[in-house]
Every structure is written in C-alpha cells, then in structure tokens.
Amino acid sequence: MANKPKPDELLSNINYKPPRTQWTDTPVEFKKGYYCYAGRPNNLEYISLPHGRKWSSTDDDWQLVDNWKEIFLEGMENLLKKFRSFRLFMDICVRCGACADKCHFFIGTGDPKNMPVLRAELLRSIYRRYFTISGKLGKIAGARDLTEDVFKELWYYSYQCTECRRCSVFCPYGIDTAEITMMARELINLLGCCTDWISGPLANCYRTGNHLGLQPHTIKSNFEYMVDDLEEFTGVRVEPTFNRKGAELLFVTPSADFFAEPGMFTCMGYLLLFHKLGLDYTWSTYASEGGNFGLFTSNEMMKRINSKIYAEAKRLGVKWILGGECGHMWRVLHQYMDTMNGPADFLEEPVSPITGTKFENAKSTKMVHITEFTADLIKNGKLKFDKSRNDHIIPTFHDSCNTSRGMGLFEEPRYVINSVCNQFHEMPENTIREQTFCCGSGSGLNAGEIEELRLLGGLPRANAVKYVKEKNGVNMLSCICAIDRAVLPPLVDYWVGDVDVCGVHELVGNALIMEEGEKREIDLRGEPLPGMEEKEEED
C-alpha cells in the first residue's frame, strides 16, 4: 500500500457512529483500499465463467449484460431451490443483533454494513422483494428493487467478508452469514464480476493443478533446494518421491508450503518427519494444491477443483490420503468432499502404518489431517523430541477459522506444540478455538489492493497477539493454515512487531530427534540455535 498510514492513524479513523440516514438510503462509497480488482476476461474464460470483459469496480458503467437482472433473479431462484439452508437463512433472521459486533471487519472498520446482520440484509432485501408475498409492499417490508446500485453494493460487501463463520457461533438461530456470502458471490459470478485475486489462481489451478501455476519441473526443483537446505541444517538427506504409483499414501498440502517462506519451513518439518518414519508416501505434481479457491466462487467450481485429489489418489493406487496444514482445504474436505466427490470406495479406511491406529473420523473421506497423524504418533511413543531446540521460541496458537469452526480441530495442534516446545501461551479465551478471530484475508481477500481493509479486518487477531506478547513474551504465532502463514507476518509486523509466524510442523522438525546423539546447531530457518553449541559440547 503506497503511503501506508501509521497504525495510530488507521486506528483513529475507525468510526462507530452510524450514518444519519437509514441503511437503505445510504449509498455505497467505493473506498480505495477496500475494493478488489475485477477479474481479467482471459482468466474468466479459462474457468468458464460467463460475461468476462474489461471493466473496473470504480467505473460508473459496469457493462452488465442487458438481461443481467433476469440472470441474477433466475440464479437466485435456482439456489433457493437447491440449498434449503439458503432459503432458511433468508427467512429466519429476527434482527436480534447478537452477531452485530462479532465480525472482525465491523470491529476494524466501524462500517454498519459490515455487521453480519446487515451484510446478509443486502441480499435478503432482494429475496423479500422478488420471492415473498409481503415483499410486494416494498420498503416497509424490508424489500428493495434490484438496481445496479444495489448490485454494486452487494458486490462491494461480499468481498469484505472472509466467510469465517465467527458470527454464526453467536447467532441463536445458527444463521451462517458465510453461506449467504457464498450464495451472493455465486450470483455475482453469473454476471462476470469475479475478482482478479480469485479468478487468477483458479485459472492457474485449472492449468497446472495449483494456484501458483507451478509446473512439475518447478515443483521438483523447489524441493531440491529444500532438501539441500535440510541436509545443511540437520545433516539428514531426505528423498521425497513424486507421482509414484503404488505408494501407500498420497500427501497433499497447499502449494505455498513448497514455494514460499514461512510455509517452506513447515514443509521441511513434514519431510523430516516422514523420513524418520520411513513412510511409504508420495507427493503429486498434479494434486499439487490442497487449497480450493472454488470455495470462494461456486459450488460447482469447488467440486471440480477438489476432484483432482481423489482422481490422483486413484491414478497412483494409494491406500489413503494424508493432508497438510491448510485452512480452506480442510473446510472443503471435512464439510463437502465426501458427498461432493465421493464416495471414495477405491481407497481404504485410513490406518496409521506406524501405530496401527484406525482414524475413524476419516472412515468416509479417507483423508487424515497431519496434526491428527502426528498427535497419534506422539501419543503412542513413536517419536522422540529435544524440546530445548525450541527454547528460543515462545509460541501461541492461532486457530484458523476453517480448521476450528469448519472442522472442530482444537486439541491436536495444541497437543503437538506442547510435545515439542517447553513454553506455550494461549491468547484470550474469546479469541481462540471456536471463537477465533480471522486473519482478515481469507476467502480470496489476500489481494494487495485491499491491504488497508485487511489490516483493519486483522486488527482483533493482532490485538490478541499483542496481549500475549506483552504479558507472556510470546514471539511466535503458530498456525496450521497456508493463508495464515502468508498474511499473518505483515499483519503482526504492522500492529505488533517482533513476533514471527510458523507452521506447527516447523516446530516438530526443529525438535525431532532423527538419530540418537545427533548434533543440531541450526533450526529449520538456518538460524543458529541459541546455546545449543555449548549444550552439545557439554553433552
């Protein structure tokens, strides 16, 4: 962000005073730093989204097709028929306001239209107008005509929701505003208005299997760098295999784990762990992305993107699938994969080849989360750690929205961290586990052009980090999500300072004893381990 305001300046701009006009009479203002760039026509064409064109979200004329209203309303009718939850969420809100102050974007911006109840109302008012009898009464019944301005407003706020589901935890009716945003985005896509930061990675994924557009030879050479670094830091030479038919397991993780720091350090942790176990597994250069931007686009897109994981497992003839540290990959896998792309009857029910544990929870999807796998190894005494190698790290743990609210994975990461670190401090109770605060950049919002919005959306998360930094000296924010690993470093740097971000398996890799009596003087970041040289000499 050019001329980035100082944190104090940004804080002082937050204004919770509502406008004097009714929300329906308050026109949307497209604020710089708060709206995404429009998707490019070639990318939209590549992923078969209709009506791609050159346009900009700040244009007066969005060049919508002549019958855009008809397309939108027909699409809405289809979604209402297809998803009972959508109709229910359109009907049952009693406007109690319990969700109002629970959204990080409302807390960070003070914009009333970022209150979940009002965000949903943007679409609900259209629903009332065209799909209910009382809606014929118009404004008095909370109904609005679908005009271009109403559509623009819906677009603007649909990309100011990270689909994190925090609001749903507090709603007495369980209304999931994330799902309402998903429906709104699906309708937006019918008119060729997908954003650049979502449609670009999706097009890459169609082309190469991953959002970054990495081709097989690039993936392999990135691994060669990591393997060399690992050998230099640990003295251990690992030998990952790719696209190997007949391997027992397929391992799938976000592409950022083998492309960018700090994800690469997490990846080094996986590599060391699997080598130590002698695991019969393979990476795939085709199913080379766990993340699924289809989740932010449409149900059909999500299904298509996800299908490559089962397709690759079938092609390679593996027994089951192990999945890495990723956020929305796990929301898709846990909530939708089985019915969307399954049943995966060609796979076996997952059993750990090391401990013999049956992962009952993955009986149907045939896919196990890496922290469940590692926690089971630790519980069964299969791994030895030198926790003191992590003594320079005082971690806390950020529950990623998707793994916490999306799948209830609370204990395993904490159990693993506590097994490999001597110190650990939780952030305040109302900011973790089910009530965790979003990083502010999920669901396709990690776009550079909306950095100011993202910094404000991430403020509640950063604030909790600041609290444990000041109270407990925390210097590491650990997490199990690739988007978090990408967006939390600049967020924490801006609001907190001197706190790093890591994946849980980086901490595992640091502490893991590969051979009895081995010396480790450097951590997985290539940094000297404080005091370790002296300690090894004393030993």
Name the residue nearer to ligand SF4 (CB basis): 11 or 94: 94
Tell me how far, at minimum, the Cβ of 86 lies from ligand SF4, in Å.
Answer: 14
Q: Are 459 and 494 in contact (CB under 8 A)?
A: no
Q: 393 vs 487, which CB is nearer to ligand SF4?
A: 487
Q: What contacts 399, CB < 8 A, 6 or more positions away? A: 410, 432, 433, 436
In the complex, the smallest distance separating the C-beta of residue 195 from ligand SF4, rounded to whole angstroms, is 16
> 321 forms bridges with which residues in the sheet?
250, 367
Q: Say if residue 27 is preceded by a cis peptide, omega within 30 of 0.
A: no
| The two structure tokens encoding residue 188 | 């937006």
Least gap, CB of 400 to ligand SF4 (angstroms): 13
- What are 383's two structure tokens? 């791994």
Structure tokens at 498: 């001197």
DSSP state of 352: -
Minimum CB distance to ligand SF4, residue 114 (Å): 7
User: Which alpha helices (H) appear in 162-215, and where do they start and end?
Assistant: 166-170, 177-190, 196-208
Q: Which of 323/440 has CB closer to ligand SF4?
A: 440
For 78, phi then psi, to 5°, come to -65, -45
Minimum CB distance to ligand SF4 smaller for 168 or for 306: 168
Nearer to ligand SF4, 171 or 479 (CB): 171
**Closer to ligand SF4 by Cβ: residue 161 or 205:** 161
Q: What angle, 0 to 180 degrees and rounded to 10, lies between the N-to-C axes of helices 370-379 and 263-277?
A: 40
Largest CA distance in the chain: 83
Q: How far is the CB of 442 from ligand SF4 (least distance, A)?
A: 8
Which residues contribute to the site for ligand SF4 (CB under 6 A)? 93-99, 102-103, 105, 116-117, 119, 161-167, 171, 173, 175, 177-178, 181
CB of 461 to ligand SF4, least distance (A): 12
Rounded distance between C-alpha atoms, residue 24 and residue 100, angstroms: 17
CA distances, 403 to each of 153, 205, 209, 441, 531 (Å): 30, 22, 23, 15, 36
Nearer to ligand SF4, 14 or 311 (CB): 14
Shortest separation between residue 1's beta carbon and ligand SF4, angstroms: 21
Residue closer to ligand SF4 (CB basis): 90 or 178: 178
CB of 56 to ligand SF4, least distance (A): 24
CA distance 386 to 268: 17
CB nearer ligand SF4, residue 98 or residue 513: 98
Residue 483 C-beta: closest distance to ligand SF4, Å: 14
Nearest of 388, 363, 384, 377 to residue 415 by alpha carbon: 377
- Residue 479: its H or E element: strand 476-479
